[in-house]
Chains A and B, each alone.
Chain A
Amino acid sequence: MTTSNYTPTVQGTGVKATIQRIGGFLAGMVMPNIGAFIAWGLITALFIPTGWLPNEDFAALVGPMITLLLPVLIGYTGGRLVHGQRGAVVGAVATVGIVVGADVPMFLGAMIIGPAAAYLVKRVDGLIQDRIRPGFEMLVDNFTAGIVGAGMALLGVWGIGPIVGRLTDIAGSGVDWLVSHHMLGLVSVIVEPAKVLFLNNAINHGVLSPLGVTEAAEAGKSILFMVETNPGPGLGLLLAFFFFGPRSLRPTAPAAMIIQFFGGIHEVYFPYVLMKPRLILAMIAGGAAGVSTFMITGAGLVATPSPGSVFAYFAVTPKGGWFGVVLGIVIAAAVTFAVAALLLGFGRKAGDEADDAAVTPEEQADREQAELAAARRRSADNKNLAPASRGSGDDTAPQATAKES
């Protein structure tokens, strides 16, 4: 078989790949630390004065964790991405500088200064690497890292901290403006298409959740955690596929629903949208409906629900916040389902696989191969005098082969 079709050519300059990589870098600083975010979210939801089990001693954890621990972890991880353990250490030290220099939680700042400090050490290491006298390596290594870290921390206190604090304020007031003008739903027009292009982590962990944490630290909850993570639209889409999608795809939908809605792995629904790109309209409609519902009901979460599972949602829903959260998920699912069902022609076009305008050559090759394999199996079956006729033998989608084998 010719598998050359399956291998992407080496491309270092693809725009999509570049955007994905930048986004992946931002998300890569946050995602390994989600456990700490959840720990903070649970402590906040439980022990603050308006929480489930108010407790003053435990609530004292909330402030230091959000203003110090989480940004330092992000700066540490960002540094590690750039220059390994040395970069991580310097990134953490530098992050403390901006934490002290500002009065809002410094997530965006940490995502800038952590990698920046690590990059500086990397350059310094490169410059002096060949000039160290034997036996002085450890002394030089430790002091270069220490000096760069100290310098970046001072710079953070005086310069970068206040600037990034100002930027965070501006971004935050931009969000406030959208909320107060009831326009936050428009964000879905950007978020939903970007999501299915695998920019989901970049958008959520790179942009929305750092802003959300800032808001949650002040207001106790934030709607920004719910813009990208709502499991409703994906559920609605998969339900529409289950009832009205191409017949060959219907049996895969229930498993995908469980993984997406309960497991929180939204990636499983992306291929269904990519197969029929016009369904992105359903995702946008459902996403916007969900966000608008959250906005109107004043819903918010105390921390980022990650992965975007309905269980994670419930774990970080503040006391008394159930109504808006559940309603937003349900409405998002219902709207997506309705629009997707409409776009799928309510199943009338179920057998019509040829209406995909977006069949790439690769998909085409895949299908031809699947067709070939199915045909071979059919003829083998005939030889074996298999009595049952294969009712769905005309399916040409690749999934048909997968299930049969």
Chain B
Amino acid sequence: MTTINGAAVRKVVIACDAGMGSSAMLAGQLRRQLGKHSVAVEHTPVDTIPADADVVICHQGLAERARISAPDTIIVPIQVFIGDPAVTRVVKAVQTGGDLDG
């Protein structure tokens, strides 16, 4: 089980199948929310998650593939693309320095 403190997060990767659609949308939202915190937010295909990602967010249906391509990274699966509590948790952790694990 990996754990990271929200304050130590430098790069959040949003992954979807092609890395062009839903991930780009969610990344845009997160970038606005995390803009002040010097956290890089990227969107990539779920099979090519960059190794320097601290936290990976992807839909639950793709989490298995995310786990294969980023075995040691914290993966936060989500269920909905608008207002998922898991995403809110990540934002909160980065903003206030709480712990994230997974």
- B59–A267 CB distance below 8 A: yes
Given contacts A3-B100, A6-B77, 15 further A-B contacts (CB under 8 A): A7-B67, A11-B64, A12-B68, A20-B17, A198-B62, A256-B82, A267-B81, A270-B61, A271-B79, A271-B81, A272-B80, A398-B85, A399-B80, A399-B83, A399-B84
- B47–A24 CB distance below 8 A: yes
Chain A residues closer than 8 Å to B68, beta-carbon distance: 10-12, 17, 21
Asked if B45 lies at the interface with its beta carbon under 8 angstroms from chain A, I say yes
Chain A residues closer than 8 Å to B16, beta-carbon distance: 267
- A17–B22 CB distance below 8 A: no
Closest to A31 in B: B18
Chain A residues closer than 8 Å to B83, beta-carbon distance: 252, 399, 402-403
Closest to B21 in A: A265
Asked if A200 lies at the interface with its beta carbon under 8 angstroms from chain B, I say yes
Chain A residues closer than 8 Å to B88, beta-carbon distance: 401-402, 405
Given A31-B18, A267-B21, residue A6 in contact with residue B62 (CB < 8 A): no
The size of the chain A interface, using a CB distance under 8 A, is 51
Cα separation A272 to B80 with both chains bound (whole Å) = 8
Asked if A4 lies at the interface with its beta carbon under 8 angstroms from chain B, I say yes
- A8–B82 CB distance below 8 A: no
B residues 1-22 in Cβ contact with A at 8 Å: 1, 16-18, 20-22
Chain A residues closer than 8 Å to B81, beta-carbon distance: 256, 259, 265, 267-268, 271
The size of the chain B interface, using a CB distance under 8 A, is 38
Chain B residues closer than 8 Å to A21, beta-carbon distance: 47, 65, 68
Which secondary structure dominates where chain B touches chain A?
Answer: mixed
B2 to chain A, nearest CB (A): 9
Asked if B102 lies at the interface with its beta carbon under 8 angstroms from chain A, I say yes
Cα separation A186 to B66 with both chains bound (whole Å) = 33
Chain B residues closer than 8 Å to A362, beta-carbon distance: 60, 77
Cα separation A202 to B45 with both chains bound (whole Å) = 13
Chain B residues closer than 8 Å to A270, beta-carbon distance: 59, 61
- A402–B85 CB distance below 8 A: yes
- A27–B85 CB distance below 8 A: no
Asked if B63 lies at the interface with its beta carbon under 8 angstroms from chain A, I say yes
Asked if B94 lies at the interface with its beta carbon under 8 angstroms from chain A, I say no
Chain A residues closer than 8 Å to B64, beta-carbon distance: 8, 11, 14, 16-17
- B79–A363 CB distance below 8 A: yes
Closest to B63 in A: A8
- A24–B18 CB distance below 8 A: yes
Bits for B12-36, please: 1 = Cβ < 8 Å to A, else 0. Answer: 0000111011100100000000000
Chain B residues closer than 8 Å to A401, beta-carbon distance: 85, 88
- B84–A24 CB distance below 8 A: no
A54 to chain B, nearest CB (A): 33
Chain B residues closer than 8 Å to A6, beta-carbon distance: 75-77, 86, 102
CB < 8 Å A-B pair total: 127
A residues 83-133 in Cβ contact with B at 8 Å: none
Closest 3 A/B residue pairs (Cβ): A267-B22, A402-B83, A17-B64
B residues 48-69 in Cβ contact with A at 8 Å: 59-68
Asked if A187 lies at the interface with its beta carbon under 8 angstroms from chain B, I say no
B49 to chain A, nearest CB (A): 13
Chain B residues closer than 8 Å to A79, beta-carbon distance: none
Asked if A138 lies at the interface with its beta carbon under 8 angstroms from chain B, I say no
Asked if A201 lies at the interface with its beta carbon under 8 angstroms from chain B, I say yes
A residues 14-38 in Cβ contact with B at 8 Å: 14, 16-17, 20-21, 24-25, 27-28, 31
- Give 12 CB contacts A-B under 8 Å: A7-B75, A11-B68, A14-B64, A16-B61, A25-B47, A201-B17, A256-B81, A271-B81, A362-B77, A399-B80, A399-B84, A399-B85
B100 to chain A, nearest CB (A): 8
Asked if A197 lies at the interface with its beta carbon under 8 angstroms from chain B, I say yes
Chain A residues closer than 8 Å to B84, beta-carbon distance: 398-399, 402
Closest to B81 in A: A268
Chain B residues closer than 8 Å to A20, beta-carbon distance: 17, 62, 65
- B67–A11 CB distance below 8 A: yes
Asked if A366 lies at the interface with its beta carbon under 8 angstroms from chain B, I say yes
Asked if A263 lies at the interface with its beta carbon under 8 angstroms from chain B, I say yes
- B22–A28 CB distance below 8 A: no
Chain B residues closer than 8 Å to A255, beta-carbon distance: 82
Chain B residues closer than 8 Å to A4, beta-carbon distance: 1, 102
Closest to B75 in A: A7
Closest to A249 in B: B80
Q: Say which residue of B1, B61, B86 sits within 8 Å of A198 (CB atoms).
A: B61
Closest to B66 in A: A8
Asked if A392 lies at the interface with its beta carbon under 8 angstroms from chain B, I say no
Asked if A343 lies at the interface with its beta carbon under 8 angstroms from chain B, I say no
